[in-house]
């Protein structure tokens, strides 16, 4: 079953009362809505999880929700005069409203009721002017593991660090994930299944510089994790291009060994072919360079788990399946005394 979905406003989406508004579909993630007539709290467009052939729309648009599971709904829109927010409404089999998100928020988080049958999501607007709709993002909140007070260490909401699986093992892995889009699920479940001590850093956005924007947070977390768990040794793990830069940076700074799960490309190749040049510009701004094996003791172990192909740099973010991280950690842990 799907755990996330991007919902777009298409020509087939069900419109509510336009009240003289104009709607222009510039591209899939750019719909311009303009209304100069003042109105307060009116619905603009609605998406439903239940097909209703008595209406004009003919297809199911929203992913099914599992009762008892928690979900996050986020409206990505730029308001220019008009103010917009999400309204999520859930119904039982009789069509009775059993849960509503309330009003005024672009992002809401709800637990699907046990008697949920179907639900809908609509955009509410008030004021006059325009807004640009990008998408609605729905995501099941999949957070597992052991949580400790002050798990969240945030700099502008972009940094996430969690301790998971703190056990009696004397070796700690510090793993960095790739800076993927906000839709990316943090590989906490995989880290939990590894059954080894892990300090996991994950990204909530596309920016790569946050790994270095507040280095004192990262270094303090690593030091505190080692102190609290009384770990004898630490290894930093990078899972892809940018996370390996971060792992190498902190490995050199803290004089710790670094393991790369994917071979690193030539820096010039990465600069010209990497799908998100803003990420590389951020790396440049911080003076990051792609490290070379066994230079200045930065990398003491390099065990690629998959062959590098330059074509992987074209049109997508370089990353590795979290199962690769899981397999590596299990294998590596067997050799750690």
Domain(s) labelled CATH 3.40.50 in the chain stretch across 159-334
State the Cα angle at 159 between 153 and 160, rounded to 5°: 70
pTM above 0.85, yes or no: no
Percent of the chain with pLDDT over 70: 53
Cα distance between residue 140 and residue 331, in whole Å: 30
Q: pLDDT band at residue 121, thresholds of 50, 70 and 90? A: very high
| Per-residue pLDDT at 216 | 78
- Secondary element (H or E) of residue 111: strand 107-111
| Per-residue pLDDT at 219 | 84
| Per-residue pLDDT at 38 | 62
| Per-residue pLDDT at 327 | 53
* Ramachandran angles phi, psi of 108, nearest 5°: -135, 155
When pLDDT is averaged across residues 306-331 and rounded to a whole number, the result is 38
* CATH no., domain 159-334: 3.40.50
Domain(s) labelled CATH 2.60.120 in the chain stretch across 4-140
Tens of pLDDT, residues 234-282: 888 776 666 777 777 788 788 888 776 655 555 555 444 443 444 444 4
Tens of pLDDT, residues 16-52: 877 678 899 998 889 999 887 766 678 899 999 875 4
Calculate the alpha carbon distances from 80 to 11, 25, 125, 242 in Å.
22, 17, 11, 35
Least confidently predicted of 91-105, 183-197, 306-320:
306-320
Architecture of domain 4-140 in this structure: Sandwich (2.60)
Question: What is the CA 28 to chain-centroid distance, rounded?
Answer: 21
Tens of pLDDT, residues 139-177: 887 643 333 333 333 332 233 454 454 555 677 888 776
- Secondary element (H or E) of residue 198: strand 198-203
Q: Which residue did the predictor score with more confidence, 24 or 324?
A: 24
């Amino acid at each position: 079953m799907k755990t996330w979905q991007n919902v777009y406003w298409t020509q087939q989406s069900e419109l509510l009362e336009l009240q003289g508004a104009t709607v222009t579909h510039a591209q899939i993630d750019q719909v311009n809505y303009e209304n100069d007539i003042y109105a307060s709290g009116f619905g603009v467009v609605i998406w439903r999880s239940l097909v209703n052939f008595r209406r004009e729309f003919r297809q199911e648009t929203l992913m099914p929700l599992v009762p008892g599971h928690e979900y996050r709904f986020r409206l990505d829109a730029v308001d220019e005069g008009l103010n917009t927010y999400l309204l999520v409404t859930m119904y039982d089999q009789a069509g009775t409203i059993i849960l509503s998100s309330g009003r005024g928020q672009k992002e809401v988080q709800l637990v699907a009721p046990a008697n949920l049958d179907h639900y809908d999501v609509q955009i509410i607007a008030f004021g006059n002017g325009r807004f640009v709709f990008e998408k609605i993002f729905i995501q099941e909140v999949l957070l597992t593991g052991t949580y400790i007070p002050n798990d969240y260490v945030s700099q502008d909401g972009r940094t996430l660090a969690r301790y998971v699986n703190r056990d009696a093992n004397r070796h700690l892995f510090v793993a960095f994930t790739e800076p993927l889009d906000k839709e990316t699920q943090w590989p906490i479940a995989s880290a939990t299944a590894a059954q080894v001590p892990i300090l996991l850093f994950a990204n909530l956005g596309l920016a790569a510089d946050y790994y270095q924007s507040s280095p004192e947070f990262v270094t303090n977390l690593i030091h505190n994790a080692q102190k609290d768990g009384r770990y004898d040794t630490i290894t930093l793990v990078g899972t892809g291009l940018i996370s390996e830069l971060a792992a190498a940076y902190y490995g050199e700074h803290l004089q710790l060994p670094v393991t790369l799960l994917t071979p690193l490309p030539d820096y010039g190749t990465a600069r010209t072919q990497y799908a998100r040049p803003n990420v590389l510009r951020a790396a440049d701004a911080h003076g990051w360079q792609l490290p070379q094996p066994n230079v200045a003791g930065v990398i003491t172990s390099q065990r690629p788990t998959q062959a590098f192909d330059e074509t992987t740099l074209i049109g997508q973010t370089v990353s590795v399946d979290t199962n690769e991280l899981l397999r590596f950690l299990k294998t590596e842990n067997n050799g750690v005394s």
